[in-house]
Amino acid sequence: MDLLTSYRCQLQGTRARRLSQTETGSPININQLYWFHTTGFALAALLQSAGYGHPAQVKILRHFADVVAPNLGVAPDSGLSRWKSFMTDDYTPIELSWDFHTGASRPSIRYSVEPVGPYAGTAADPYNHMATIAFKRGFLKASPDAYVGWLNHFEACFGQDWDMTIPEGHLSNMFWAFDLDEDNATSKAYFFPGAKAYASGRSKLDVITEAVSSLPNHTGEAIIPFQTFTRYAHKTSLEVEMVAIDLIRDSRLKLYYRDRRTTFASVQDNMTLGSQLDNDDLQMGLNRLRRLWHFLFAIDEFSDDASLRYDSHRTAGILYNVEFHLRGKAPKVKIYIPVRHYAESDRQITVALTKYLIHEVGSQEGFEAAIDYAHLYSSCLDSILSVHPYQVLTFLANISQ
């Protein structure tokens, strides 16, 4: 019996508790069981559809069950007050992603999570600090080789008990993420600068710049790539959201920001940081992105000034991240295609994506694989949504220089 079939058996309720205790190797509670059965099933479905080997699936799912599932808060169907996580629009504190890469190569799976305690948002734990501490302890026990130098630095910068009554639209203060390879997982941590910025009367970009400038073992010259972005940000109306790091010694630094403009012309402006970045690979990537934009939103490929429909939601607009290696390399900009607000449905997204892959890969080697992966994604999505209506799946398009 494969792992996905095992999960299906559990969902039928016949062996749920016994199998869960056996596979996680630790005691469970009703909330952990809920997340194990729903999001755990969704993760199992993605791993299997993406072609991960059985040993890798077991390792990834055991880590999810032991480290993550106990720290996702109360079950949505519990009737108890839920923490309003900024992770997703329906407050689900975990989000799964399927990365198609070039389309012809095997996809990879990642997920992001906000640790949430059972009393988060109540008088006992108003700002969800308990889960932040518990999750870090459990993560480091499971991943003793993780590098925590930058983690501790940014926690010291942003993790204090600042006044959380700020006009951010959310109270989330830290996320974690796991990029899942066959053999290893790259772990990441995300920090929100809003509370410190508000408390100190400065902008979020200013407090991030201060934190980056004081990174241990880095000179002032090392942040020159970061200054490429700050020059652009200071003359553009951008909304800085968070900063992220890898938990390895040679970490990247990522800054996430939102632009409310939704024209493709504004996308090009962001991807080049106001024409500061330009090379053949970047231009090729922008041309590919324009075609994907057309397939997803039915906008003429040559109408770069056409906006997507207006949406006033807190997470509307377009999210970008700028990636820096503090070794003098030029930054890279990535875009998160805003399908959750502007596409018609999950089905429309998968149809558009399949058309795009057919167009891009064409007669090249790997064409059949690309179509197979698109169909696997579509069927996998159907399977996930049938058992886990709270799960939000997004399409992440990485078009970088």
Tell me the binding residues for dimethylallyl diphosphate.
110, 188, 190, 252, 254, 256, 336
DSSP classification of residue 67: I
Task: Give φ, ψ of 389 to 5 degrees.
Answer: -65, -15
Q: Could you give the residue ranges of the DSSP H alpha helices within 166-223?
A: 194-200, 204-213
Q: Are the CB atoms for 5 and 41 separated by under 8 Å?
A: no
Residues 6+ apart with CB under 8 A from 274: 231, 232, 235, 236
Give the type of residue at 92: T
Of 39, 12, 48, 13, give the one whose Cα is nearest residue 95. 39
Residue with tokens 């390792």: 59
Binding positions for L-tryptophan are: 95
Task: Give φ, ψ of 28 to 5 degrees.
Answer: -130, 160
Residue with tokens 């949406």: 311
Q: Are the CB atoms for 299 and 264 separated by under 8 Å?
A: yes
List Cβ<8 Å contacts ≥24 apart for 7-12: 7/37, 7/40, 7/41, 7/44, 7/45, 8/41, 10/37, 10/41, 11/37, 11/41, 11/387
Residues 6+ apart with CB under 8 A from 292: 337, 356, 397
Structure-token pair, residue 79: 């009737």
CA torsion 211→216→219→220, rounded to 10°?
Answer: 10
- Distance separating alpha carbons of residues 200 and 162, to the nearest angstrom: 10
Q: Could you give the residue ranges of the DSSP H alpha helices within 302-366?
A: 339-342, 346-361
- Distance separating alpha carbons of residues 365 and 22, to the nearest angstrom: 43
How far CA 274 is from CA of 11, 259, 307, in Å, comes to: 51, 13, 19
Binding positions are: 95, 110, 188, 190, 252, 254, 256, 336
